[in-house]
Each structure stands twice: as C-alpha cells, then as structure tokens.
Amino acid sequence: MTLTRDGIAYRVACDLPDGAYVNLGIGIPFLITSYLAEDREIFIHSENGILGVGPVAARGQEDPDLVNASKDYITLVPGASVFDHALSFTMIRGGHLTHAVIGAIEVAANGDLANWRVPGQKVPGVGGAMDIAVGIENLYVAMTHVTNKGQPKILPACTCPLTASACVKRIYTDMALIEVAPEGLILREVAPGIAPAAVEKATAAPLRVAKDCREMDVPPVFNGVELRQ
C-alpha cells in the first residue's frame, strides 16, 4: 500500500520541528500546511513575500490578494507578515530559513537535485528553486517514487539539468523515507505494507536498508482525507 499525495505531506509534516521556518514548494509540499502539528509553532514562508502562510483558502472564501508563489489561494496565520520579493530572497539567500520541502523530477544518490526542466520541454525559467536549494540547510524532497511510466526517480546520477548539487537531505515518497548520507542512500522507513525489497526494486540508485528500518506511522485517514491508497 502506497501513500497518497496527502499521505506524503502528512509524513513530512511530522518531522518539522517546533520553531522551524519552512519554505514549501509547489504541489505535494504545499499540502503540508493542512497537517502541521498544533502543539508546534512552525512558520511557513512563500518566496513571493509571505511569512506566516496558513492552510489553503476554503472554497468561496478566496482572497485574490492572498496567493502563494504557485498561485494557490491561501490564508494567513495571526502575526503573519507580507513583504517584497527582494526581502523574501534575502531571507532565503541569507540562510534565515531552516527547512525547505520541494518537489523533484530526479534525485541522485549523492543528493543532487533536478526539479525544473525535463529535456525537450519549454519552461520559463528555474524560478526560485536554485536559491532555495543552496540557501536553506535542510532540504527535503516530497515526490512519488517513480514516474507515471513506472520509471525510477531516484538515480545514481541525474539525467535532467541540475537545480543544485549535493543539497538534498531526505527524500519522502509514496513508498519510503530515504536519508541522503555521505556514505549513500539509507532506507529509514517504508510505507505501511511495503517491503524494503520493493523499495529497492523501485530505486535505481544503490540503497542500504537501515538496521532499524521501520514502517511509517501514517493513519489510513486524517480529518476525512485518505492518506493511503
């Protein structure tokens, strides 16, 4: 049984510590705002100039002046601040954010990240991904383990243009939690019902199974949302 997109977001949210300042990327990462622990004070940053991003706005309550960097309608938490783009990237480049969660096209065994362009496809540019990847110490990737064609996304070396080199610390997928260590990739957790051997088979890069590898603590449903599939 693999995790849903919300299931991946839930599992990442469990690891964000109290007092963290976190940039969330497009897609699965932004879902994390719905699963932050109520007993922790976690500050969500958006690179278009917001600190204190709340959950996605409820249908019918969208404010056109409140959007994140991926144009999702958002809410603000009490005490949130809004500022210009230049100050936002000063925070990123200056190392003032503690964590970032970002999507990926490919991740290499040494932590190289490719997340902005598939060869042959036209895109407007890399956006803020490069600044985030090199400016924030704890970079986590949240993605599906394989492509929609069943091809591994965790590789010995990236084939797509790099966003940044040796920057990824952890990889959260619908199948597993993998640590990127100096000695290589370490399988720390598997999704409920998934065997470590199945994760190894779906991973193109060498993968060492930790002695204390365990099953993820992710419930089937959270607040009416399915976290497993």
Residue 121 sits at φ, ψ, to 5 deg, of -100, 145
Using one digit for the tens of pLDDT, what is the confidence trace for 172-197? Answer: 999 999 999 999 999 999 999 999 99
Using one digit for the tens of pLDDT, what is the confidence trace for 95-115? Answer: 999 999 999 999 999 999 999
pLDDT greater at residue 72 or residue 126:
72
> Is pLDDT at 119 greater than 90 in this prediction?
no
Q: Tell me which DSSP letter residue 182 carries.
A: T
Tell me the three state secondary structure of residue 188. Answer: strand
Question: Does the annotation count 47 as an active-site position?
Answer: yes
Using one digit for the tens of pLDDT, what is the confidence trace for 11-38? Answer: 999 999 999 999 999 899 999 999 999 8
Residue 199 in tokens: 């994760």
Fold of 5-223: Glutaconate Coenzyme A-transferase (3.40.1080)
> Which pLDDT score is estimated for 126?
76
> Which pLDDT score is estimated for 122?
77
- Answer for the pair 157, 109: CB distance below 8 angstroms, yes or no: yes
Q: Which of 38, 41, 47, 183 is catalytic?
A: 47
Model confidence, pTM: 0.96
